[in-house]
Each structure stands twice: as structure tokens, then as C-alpha cells.
A and B are shown apart, each in its own frame.
Chain A
Amino acid sequence: MIIRLTLRRIGLGLAALLLGGLLVGWSGVIYVGASGGHWPVTEWFLHWVMRNSVRTRALALEVPDLSGPALLDRGAGHYATGCAPCHGAPGERQNPIVQASLPPPPEFSKRFDPWKPEELFRIVQHGVRYSGMPAWVAIERHDEIWAMVAFLEKLPRMPQDEYQRLAFGPEGARQPSSGLIGIGAINTGGPAPPAQEALADCARCHGMDGRGRENDAFPVLAGQSEAYLREALLAFSHGTRHSGLMQPPAARADDAILGQIATHYARQPFAPVPHPPAETALLEEGERIARQGIPAEGVPACLSCHGGAALARNPSYPALHGQHASYLENQLVQWQAGTRGGGPYRDLMGTIAGRLSPEQNKAVAAWFARQDKASD
């Protein structure tokens, strides 16, 4: 029998297909349970599409320098609470509940696919659709995502004790039952539970004394005012300051507990970071910007809001002296890229930071990092 193809018949055929498809969907015979897994061919197809998508979309990415311990510290701190619950960690087995999801997230100690760094970046940044892998909370914070990639590159060969030191800090790793519960047991005169538990979460990276690690992975919190710390934590918690590293822990605690954490860190004695080496010309340029601003560009003197007298007048402005230069510079870069967000005053600094050049960022950050006290 010969059936002649006419437009009318093609149209009818397509309509029948569509209707039939809807009918099958409506009938409920399609199985959507996670148990039993996919057919091998389905699994192969889905995975093939995913790998191709990641590979193609990572083509234009340039990988920055991923060496150095600070990136590992940042990545590990987030991994412990953000990733380990699904992917496991050295010394922490994957939860059987997670293993029963479809697709089951790979347990990295057993299986770590050979992704290139830029491909890992794409996966961490955007997540994977239909797989349960979430996107980064602040996808515009490339600096944080690269830190995560740097850590993931090292993770497959990382011994348990190193992982615990990176993820829980020296204080947390020393405890018999490492991690949150362990550090929560340290009594340093901090607040009472449940704030004690939230504080333990902070202390993994920032230390109980608010000085962070020996490197420049985390900003120094000791010496900041209670008002500034509280407003920064609330901004993270409510999503007006953008960070995939800080928004999740801030959102885990309620506003009252964030206030107690701010109080705790505001009480810690200030200690400036070790002076990093810097060229004299750079420091002179930084000092000039800090003290006089750049009138031709409409940049006021930094110290008119971040100097000693100004901080005494308005505790909502952060102290910059003795802070890590890399942190200060990165904040300026984030302001300039429009990705930082912040507390109630964010529009002010956003306006001013946009008028600094990359060299000026570096200069002013280097100068502030070397100050042991607030100047005027």
C-alpha cells in the first residue's frame, strides 16, 4: 500500500503524535521514581549531553592562578557544609539517603571524573539541571568559585587530617569528634547555645579570635565594630551582600544570633596582619589616596570615612587598617564589577570605588594593610 504524503496528512500525523504524547503523560504510566535508575541508554544519553554542554560552555574561560593555600582554605571551608553532605569528604562517608537519589551524586573519594578546571568552574557556577546539583549562590562571584575549583583539584588525593585542618580550622581539627560539634565544645567565654553552635560554624574559618588563618584566606574580623559586623552579617543573611561562601552560613542563623556573633567578634582584640612586602612607590601612592583622595576623579580621602575620627563618629563604616591587602583589593574589584552588594551604605562605596583604577586599588589596599592603627 502506498500512502501519499500531503501537507494535510503530515499535519494530522503530528497532531496525533502530540495528542498521543499528552495522553501517555496524563495516563500516569511514566515512572518518575528515583528507585531503579535509568535504562543504560537513557543514562548514557543524559550524561553525554551534560558532558558536552559543560565542555562547550567552558571553552571561553581562562583559568587564573589556582596555587596558594588561601584558595584551598576558602574552598574547604565551604565544601564542609555546602558540598560534603552530598559528595562525602575524606573521612566522611556519603549518606545512604543521598546515594538513593537519581542520579546519585558522585562520592568524590570513590569517583572523581577527570574534569578540567574550567569545566569544574562551569559546574560549580551553574550547577547541573535535573540532577540536584545546585548553582553557586552568587554566580557573579567568580573569585569564590575559582577557590572552590582550586580545592576540588586537590581533593581526590587529600589525606583526612589535612582536609579536617582546612575545613574546620586548627581549633576544630584538634577536637576528638572533628567539625562543628567539636569546635562548639570549646569554651572561650563566647555566647551560650544556640549562638555557640553558630559561632563554631564561623570559627572554622575566622577562628574564635576573629583573626582568620595564618594566610590571607579570610578577612580579619577582630577590631571591627559591632555595628559594622552586625550589618554585614544581616546583609549576607538577607542576600543584599553577595557571596556563595558567606550567604549560606549567615542564613543558617537567625538575626538575633547574628547579633550575638557580631558582639563576640567585636570584643576580640585587634591585631594587624603581618606586613606583606610592598614597593615604596606603591605605598606612597596608597597613602596619598587614603589621606587626600583623588580630587580629579572625584574620589574623597578614604580616611574621611575609614579613619580614626570617622570610625568613632560612625561605627557602621568598616575599619580598613591592618586588614589583608588581598581582601581589600578584592572588595574594591567587586564594588567596581557591581557584584559586591552590601549593607545599608552600599551605594556610597559603590559610587566611590568605581572611580579607582586597578593600580590605585592595589596601592590603597597595600597601604591600609600596613597600618597598625586607624589614622586620620
Chain B
Amino acid sequence: MRAVPLAGLLAGCGGVQSALDPAGFEAEQVARLFWAMLVASGVIWVLVLGLAHYASGRREKPWSQRDAGRLIVWGGAVVPTLLLAVLLFFGLRLMPELRAPGGPLRVHVEGEQFWWRVRYHPPGGAPVESANALVLPVGQRVEFSLSTRDVIHSFWVPALGGKMDMIPGRTNRLVLEPTRTGEFRGACAELCGASHALMAFTVRVVEPAEFEAWLAREAAPAAAGTGHAGEAAFLAHGCGACHSVRGTAARGAIGPDLTHLASRPTLGAGILENSAANRAAFIARVDEIKPAARMPAYGTLLDTEIAAIAAWLGMLR
């Protein structure tokens, strides 16, 4: 029984969503600063306890007023000021590097209730619409512009860097520079409403060439599924009023773009594995799976129709 909470604690030290297992420039700097501070504060803690032990137990004659005054001035004012000044120096020195402008690729992320609208702005190319999943090239500084219309979120990928708030009426900047490939997880770090705990996303960091290929695929219309029964049901029941599946009659812009839904690892903003069963469950019971989501539940459709839509969405790679 003891092992469970301990394992839970240690899980925070590594894995897809840990600032202590950095995979980005900013996260590395912050992690290095964190470890240096942890070691230094450990040393200071030992020194202070040693001094207290000496003063209360070992030393037999009382402190003179002059010695006590000196100890307070040095131990209480001068040394802490010097230590904090050193810390401030290192902290300030990091900031220009972390704030340095990003490369040519820009990504706009808009916080919605409760999902992430993602728009890639490749240099010289048309914007590419996506949602709830990021793919980033390793070794490149990518500038994020973060905004929202009607909700407050905080955008955080602990393994890469951040976090940065999304506030209505503002566009905030954040630059991330992944330093190794892999799969990571981001989350909303600001209580945003009923589905705050269900407000996550995946980040896949890949080699630049692979990223270019992925972006070209993401920009293309949906390849599979034309004429599928699921497509007919999707369109007949009005799903296309809110969702776009480029290459079909579905051109809505209210909800997440589903053109390449099948290529995303998760559903519902990082909360469910992207399987046919989960897609069907999300369609039928979104109100239970994602409280306060703005999509109505479609449980009234026939099970066969829901299964067909889930199957068709699974073909949209």
C-alpha cells in the first residue's frame, strides 16, 4: 500500500510531463537552476542547524552583546543578501536567452472551452489548421502566440518550457526549443472551468525533415473516407456545422478541425486514447466525458450511425 503514493510522487520526476526530465532549452535552464538551488539550500540548511546545535549545546559561556550583534549582521543580513544577489544574477542572465526570438516557424494556439485550437504559420506558406496536438521540429526555436476569447488558460509543456497564461484581450508570446525527440504532454495550468483537469494536449518532437513531411500531410485535405457511411452520417446529422474535415462538405469552424483526427494520439484534448470505442463514446456522451464542453451529446443517434462515424473518423489520417 505504501508503494502506491511513493510511486505517484516519483512519477513526477520523469516521463512525458516533467520539468525535471527536460527536453527543451528553457526547461533545461530552469532544471539546472532548480538543482543548483536545491543543493545550495541543502548546504545552508546543514550549516544553520549545525550553528544552532553549537550555540545551544556545545558552547558553554554566554554570547557577548558584540558577538551576538555581529552574528545577526553577518548571518542575518550580509550573507543572505549576497546569496540572493548571486541567485538574481543567474536568473536575470537566463532571461534574454529564454526570451530570444523564435525561428521562422510560428504557431498560434487559441484556448477554447475546453480544447486547444492550433494554427501553424510556416514561413512563406499558408496557415495549417489543427487542434489538441502539437508536432515540433527538434533543435528549432518555435515562437508561440497564445490567445483566447472567453476563458483563461495557462499553456504549459513542462518538459519543454513555459508556462504562459492565455488571457482574453491579450496575445502572449512563448518560445520553445525542443532539444531531443520524443513524446511529451502539455496541460492547462490555470483553473479554467469544469473541465480544467481534462484540458491537456500531446507534443511530438521529431527531426526537422520528418516535421516538414508531417506539416505537408496536415495541410492536405482528408484523403480517406469519401463515400463512407460514416461520412454520410457525419454530414447528415450536422457535425459539419461545427467541425471541418477538409475535402468534404464539413466546413464548420466552431469546434476542432478533424481533417486528420486519426493521426492524433488522443481524443478530447489529451484525455482519451484515440480508439474507435472512445470516439464513439465521445460522440454519444460528451456531456459526461467532458463536463461543460460546448458540444452537445449525440446519444440520440443510432448505435450503427455512431459506430460508422467513429470508424470514418479513424480513417482520417
Contacts and interface: CB of A to CB of B under 8 A. Distances in A.
Interface of A: 293, 295-296, 298-301, 304-305, 309-310, 313-314, 317, 344-345, 347-348, 350-352
A352 to B, nearest CB: 8
B249 A309 contact: yes
A298 B238 contact: no
Contacts of A299: 254
B99 interface: no
A347 B254 contact: no
Measured as residues with beta carbon below 8 angstroms from the partner, the interface class of chain B is 10 to 19
B interface, by DSSP: helix, strand, loop or mixed?
loop
A300 B254 contact: yes
14 contacts: A293-B241, A295-B253, A296-B149, A298-B254, A300-B238, A300-B241, A304-B252, A305-B238, A305-B241, A313-B236, A344-B300, A348-B238, A351-B294, A352-B296
Contacts of B249: 309
A354 to B, nearest CB: 10
B297 interface: yes
A356 to B, nearest CB: 14
Contacts of B254: 293, 295, 298-300
Contacts of A347: 296-297, 300
Contact of A301 (B150, B241, B300): B241
A216 B80 CA distance: 82
B228 interface: no
B253 A304 contact: no
Nearest to A296: B149
A304 B238 contact: yes
A213 B7 CA distance: 74
Tell which of A293, A295, A296, A298 has the most Cβ of chain B within 10 Å: A298
Given A304-B240, A304-B252, A345 B300 contact: yes
Given A301-B241, A305-B238, A348-B296, 9 more contacts: A299-B254, A300-B242, A300-B252, A305-B241, A310-B238, A313-B232, A314-B237, A347-B296, A351-B296
Question: Nearest 5 CB-CB pairs, A to B?
Answer: A304-B241, A300-B241, A351-B296, A305-B238, A314-B236
Contacts of A305: 238, 241
Contacts of B232: 313
